[in-house]
Structure 1
Amino acid sequence: MNWYGIGAIYKFEMARTWRTLMQSIAWPVLSTSLYFIVFGAAIGARMGNIEGVSYGAFIIPGLIMLALLSESISNASFGIFFPKFSGTIYEILSAPVSVFEIVAGYVGAAATKSIVLGLLILVTARFFVDYEIAHPVWMVVFLVLTALTFSLFGFIIGIWADDFQKLQIIPLMVITPLTFLGGAFYSISMLPAVWQKITLFNPVVYLISGFRWAFYDVADVNIGLSVGMTLLFLILCLLATWWIFRTGYRIKT
């Protein structure tokens, strides 16, 4: 294992975070804080509890997941897209590092940024609403698994995209709507029966439900199913990445 190679890629990507601290960390935390102020403190104070949890506390897992998914994809996709755009990807491919080590460096850095962001949002939420974490270990497991999975997904998007506009298509037009419709601000049990069944086709439902269970011991779907769906998506992303490097799709051509 070439730890020096992994470390070089990882440190370079992490250094980019500090150079763009405002848009990488400060802005996501600030925008999420606005959600807490509007939905948690202002509107939430006038709403009843949902499954025994105050509305302000109920939306915390959904808001963290919204930021986690978006930032994981954005960080990882830009990290690999820019070397393609500038032509330096060939230097990386010709270096004595394996495919696994390249992916580990880029995805590891993107996941680290997302995990730090998620924890900062969790700390920030304490200033606006009170909450408890029923299963802290499982909370960390879901946080890390989701960050790794969607950073890997973002890595794939970065390879697929051939211009800067395409980097934003999936996060803005797919992930964000799926998160809003996946129970970030409500329990799917509040929907009509037909829409409850339709919502189960939304993969983000399982992520938010599992993460919320780790906080409050309440979930829209079985916790085992949530873990299984997260692992399944991770495996699919790993297979897609393996195929990309095996065929050289949009990397060597």
Structure 2
Amino acid sequence: MNLHGIWALYRFEMARFGRTIWTSLATPVITTTLYFIVFGAAIGSQMRGVDGVSYGAFIVPGLMLLTIFSESIFNASLGIYMPKFTGTIYELLSAPLSAVETVLGYVGAAATKSMVIGFVIFLTAHLFVDLHIAHPVAMVLYLLLVAASFSLFGFCLGIWANGFEQLQIIPLLVVTPLTFLGGAFYSIDVLPEPWRTVTLFNPIAYLINGFRWTFFGVSDVSFGLCIAVTAGFAALCLAAVVTIFRTGWRLKS
């Protein structure tokens, strides 16, 4: 295992994050504040708690994942797309790094950035609501799994994309709508049939409910099923990355 090479890629990607750190951190703080003003104060004040949890606290896991999904995809996809765009991808492919080591460097950095921003949102939420995490260790591990999974997905997206416009298609037209429709700001149990059943076919709903369980110990679906869906998504993305490097699809052509 070329730890020096992995660390070099990781540091390079984190240095890019460091150059825009204030913008990267200010954006989620402002966005979180606006969400709490609109959803937490304006709407939440008119609603009763959900499963014994105040509405303001209830939306925190969904709000964190909404940002982590997009940040993980953006950072990982841009990280691998830029070498393709500038033509330096061949230097990366000829470096003494295996496919696993390359992915660890890029995906590790993207997941780190996402988790940092996620915890910034968590700390910002503390300014508005009282949060008592039921399973803190599970929360951190689950957050890491989600960030790594979507970073892998973003890595695949960055290899697939032929332009900056394509980098935005999946996050804006697929991931974000599925997040809003997956119970990020409401319990899917309040949906009438057949919409509740339809929502259960949305994989994002399981990720959100699994993460919410680590906070409050409550979930609309089984936590074991949430773990299985999240791990299955990570395995699918990992298999896609392995296939891409094995075939050289859009890397060597």
TM more than 0.5: yes
Is the CA contact 2:28–2:120 (under 8 Å) kept in the aligned structure 1?
Answer: no
Residue in 2 that maps onto 1:232: 232
CA 1:218–1:123: 2 relative to 1, 3 Å: same
Q: Any idea what SS the aligned residue of 1:193 has?
A: coil
Q: Any idea what SS the aligned residue of 2:221 has?
A: coil
Residue in 2 that maps onto 1:166: 166
Is the CA contact 2:71–2:114 (under 8 Å) kept in the aligned structure 1?
Answer: yes
Q: C-alpha distance in 1, partners of 2:51/2:195? A: 19
Residue in 2 that maps onto 1:215: 215
Q: Map 1:110-125; keep pairs closer than 5 Å.
A: 110-125=110-125
The AA in structure 2 aligned to 1:61 is: P
Q: C-alpha distance in 1, partners of 2:33/2:17? A: 20
What per-residue deviation string (whole Å, max 9, x for no partner) do you get for residues 47-71 of structure 1? 1111111110000000001001010
Q: C-alpha distance in 1, partners of 2:148/2:41? A: 31
The AA in structure 2 aligned to 1:98 is: S
Residue in 2 that maps onto 1:65: 65
Is the CA contact 1:159–1:250 (under 8 Å) kept in the aligned structure 2?
Answer: yes
Aligned residues: 253
What per-residue deviation string (whole Å, max 9, x for no partner) do you get for residues 129-163 of structure 1? 11211111111111000000000000000000000
Is the CA contact 1:41–1:128 (under 8 Å) kept in the aligned structure 2?
Answer: no
Q: C-alpha distance in 2, partners of 1:199/1:50? A: 18
- Report the RMSD for the aligned CA atoms in angstroms: 0.9
Q: Map 1:1-253; keep pairs closer than 5 Å.
A: 1-253=1-253
Identity %: 63
Q: C-alpha distance in 2, partners of 1:90/1:33? A: 43
Q: C-alpha distance in 2, partners of 1:228/1:72? A: 20
The AA in structure 2 aligned to 1:109 is: A
Q: For residue 41 of structure 1, report the CA deviation from its aligned partner.
A: 2.4
Is the CA contact 1:25–1:117 (under 8 Å) kept in the aligned structure 2?
Answer: yes
The AA in structure 1 aligned to 2:33 is: S
Q: Any idea what SS the aligned residue of 2:128 has?
A: coil
5+ residue gaps, structure 1: none
Is the CA contact 2:209–2:220 (under 8 Å) kept in the aligned structure 1?
Answer: yes
TM score, norm. by length of structure 2? 0.98
Structure 1 moving runs of 4+ over 6 Å: none
Q: C-alpha distance in 1, partners of 2:29/2:175? A: 18
The AA in structure 1 aligned to 2:89 is: I
5+ residue gaps, structure 2: none
Is the CA contact 2:139–2:211 (under 8 Å) kept in the aligned structure 1?
Answer: yes
Is the CA contact 1:41–1:129 (under 8 Å) kept in the aligned structure 2?
Answer: no
The AA in structure 2 aligned to 1:46 is: Q
Q: C-alpha distance in 2, partners of 1:205/1:90? A: 39
Q: C-alpha distance in 2, partners of 1:234/1:228? A: 10
Q: For residue 23 of structure 1, report the CA deviation from its aligned partner.
A: 4.1
